Chain A
Amino acid sequence: MLLEFKVNGIARSLEVDPAQRLIDVLRDQLDLTGTKEGCGEGECGACTVIMGGRAVNACLVLGLQAQGQEVVTIEGLAQDGQLDPLQKAFMAEGAIQCGFCSPGMLMSSKALLLRHPHPSEEQIRSAIAGNLCRCTGYQKIVKAVQAVAQAGGRHE
């Protein structure tokens, strides 16, 4: 069936199988492999993308349910060749270890800051509660998000 939606600001129109999940469409058809699949059942959050302004697990949404929607993936964070302030902060704070959870962590954090530019630490922890980091680098991830929020959305 025909799926028409926007990914990272670009209109896309492609044939998808109804059984394909959003993560399958992104990775296998659009080659957007920055979005990772961990558990495939909504526990780990590695596949988190932003759809309609909200963080969702791309493994628990059928591709066809993105019909007409705007989806942002990790590939869509950088603008004009400049990394997003969150990406810079993750690097500066050492909030990345093996990196497998990072795309999901970044998208959950981005969705949070879009809705709450000045989140409390509790809000940050709640926003990433659905993202597992097996390297257990949570403190630095929270710090990185706080750094961006405190800088008013910027990070040098």
Chain B
Amino acid sequence: MSNFVFQAPATVAELAGCLAEAGPGTRLLGGGTDLIIQLRERGIQDGTLIDLTRVAGLDTITLDGDTIKIGANVTYTDLAEHPLITGLVPCLGEMASQVGSLQIRNSARLPGNIANASPAGDSIATLMALEASVLILNGRGETCTRTIEAVVTGIGKTSLAPDEAILAVHLPRPRATQRSRYGKFGMGARSQVVIANVSLTLVVDYDPGRGLITGAQAVLGSAAPLAYHARQAEALLTGRRPTPELARELAETLRREVETSIKGIAMFMHKLNDIQGLALDLFAHLFRDVM
């Protein structure tokens, strides 16, 4: 028999009550696809498990004014299929549809991916590129928002206190001129169900009247301990016309940025090839109507 205390709050108010009692041995349980493996690997048999999956009202995706609000219990399957996501922020839907297997996507949710803060966490880079923030509840029943960068601070490290839980992920509603794409290269023999070896999220503003890219976010995942903005690539794209030549320049610029971030470690050298292929693919998809 384990010594776990299992709590399944049904409302946000009840959740705040559970968080008020939270200590170092308290763990938040979402879809469970990471936590259950961790508990078993580490032989953890005690502490408190707060199951977030039964908290009412956290399973919707809504457009509230200029903010897309994604509740903590929205699964990757929900994300990948929801018209607000596929219509307004396609890169997020593409990311969600490539996480793990269908069984994983049916269970896993964004907050767990954020809170686990893996360098290979699929969602973090994409959320950075979309300027996401996170709605957080604490044990006093107060809420605050923090940017994704302020939450994920290192490998497996976050700024979340033991009495804090993620209630939702917020994205600014994109401008009508925004286009976005996500891609990853996985490692291993399978074409699906792979952990990202390197991922790229491109979010651009494209002015069809002038035929120019007027702004760009390019965020790399799995290329460093933390996902990061490829600033040189973002600068390169801004003010330029999308052409095959620019795609090649982008691939080369990203290759150089990854070369810097992997610090010459031999086992990561293949990422230099992978990122160039990703860049060419994503750019071609982003601008296939005008290039």
Residues of A within 8 A of B (CB): 1, 17-19, 21, 40-43, 45, 48, 54-57, 59-62, 64-65, 67, 108, 111, 126-127, 129-131
Contact = CB atoms under 8 A, between A and B. Distances in A.
B193 interface: yes
Contacts of A62: 6, 29, 32, 36, 49, 51
B103 A55 contact: yes
Residue with the greatest number of chain A CB neighbours at <10 A, chosen from B32, B37, B49, B77 = B32
A19 B107 contact: no
Contacts of A61: 32, 36, 107
B36 A129 contact: no
Instruction: Give the dominant DSSP class at B's interface.
Output: mixed
Contact of B106 (A56, A67, A129): A56
Contacts of A18: 2, 4-6, 49
B33 interface: yes
Interface size class, chain B: 20 to 34
Given A41-B37, A130-B193, A19 B4 contact: yes
A84 B103 CA distance: 21
B39 interface: yes
Given A42-B37, A57-B104, A126-B192, 16 more contacts: A1-B6, A17-B2, A18-B2, A19-B4, A21-B36, A45-B101, A54-B106, A57-B101, A57-B107, A59-B36, A60-B104, A62-B29, A67-B8, A67-B54, A111-B102, A126-B102
Interface in B4-58: 4-6, 8, 29, 31-33, 36-37, 39-40, 45, 49, 51, 53-54
Interface string B70-86: 00000001000000000
A17 B29 contact: no
A43 B106 CA distance: 14
A65 B102 contact: no
A59 B102 CA distance: 14
Contacts of B40: 40
